[in-house]
Amino acid sequence: MREMTPTQISLATSHTAPREAMQRWRKVVLGIHSGLKFLDARYSLDPSMLWSALEGALTAQDVDLLVLDAKSSVKEYGVALAGSFYADLGSTKFVKPDTHVVACSSASSNAPLSEQASVAAVHRLADQSGRSPRAIDKLMFLACSRRFLVGGPPRYATEGKARLLKELRGMHPSTRI
């Protein structure tokens, strides 16, 4: 598979399942294929080289460069998946700018923020609080998802998220991120 092009992968998987399901699987295979090619090209599939790059990312800007490189090189990857990929490898410097992170960052900034601005806000909060960006990301995720019942039982989780975001919007300007 390492020698196949994305077009060859698309053709090899195009006639075996219903069209909609096939498109999803094609994207998964294409993402895995281009991801492996990316890891081979950048790190020679050597974990120590990858970890060296992760450990060498000392600033939020360094982290952004790694995320943007993965995003632009791996098919079907956006900023959220690229950041999550590195975070799932164990690096605490990466943020997954999913809807929870964007919602919390926007609410606490009292302005709509892009994914990139939300990541920057989490990094600022991490610097101010002495916590890792990944820990803050996870806290935002848990507070806004149904996995941590801030708002009570699951049927009230949406109301709990709405209350949390309302409280964040009402924070004193000096405490905003």
72 shares its domain with 131? no
123 shares its domain with 166? yes
- pLDDT, residue 177, reads 61
* pLDDT, tens digit only, all 177 positions of the chain: 557 676 666 666 555 556 777 788 888 888 889 989 999 999 999 999 998 999 898 888 898 899 889 989 988 887 778 888 888 888 899 998 888 899 999 998 888 999 889 999 999 999 989 999 999 998 888 877 765 555 455 555 566 677 777 777 777 666 656
Q: Domain boundary at 88, 113, 137, which?
A: 88
Q: Domain boundary at 33, 65, 88, which?
A: 88
153 shares its domain with 107? yes
111 shares its domain with 170? yes
- pLDDT, residue 78, reads 78
**How far apart, in whole angstroms, are the C-alpha atoms of residue 160 and residue 154?**
10
- pLDDT, residue 98, reads 87
Tell me, yes or no, whether 93 lies in a domain: no
Residue numbers of the domain that contains 159 = 99-175
Which CA distances in Å does 92 have to 58, 110, 163?
11, 26, 28
Tell me, yes or no, whether 19 lies in a domain: yes
Tell me, yes or no, whether 1 lies in a domain: no
Which CA distances in Å does 176 have to 50, 101, 108, 115, 170?
35, 14, 5, 17, 9
pTM tops 0.95, yes or no: no
79 shares its domain with 107? no
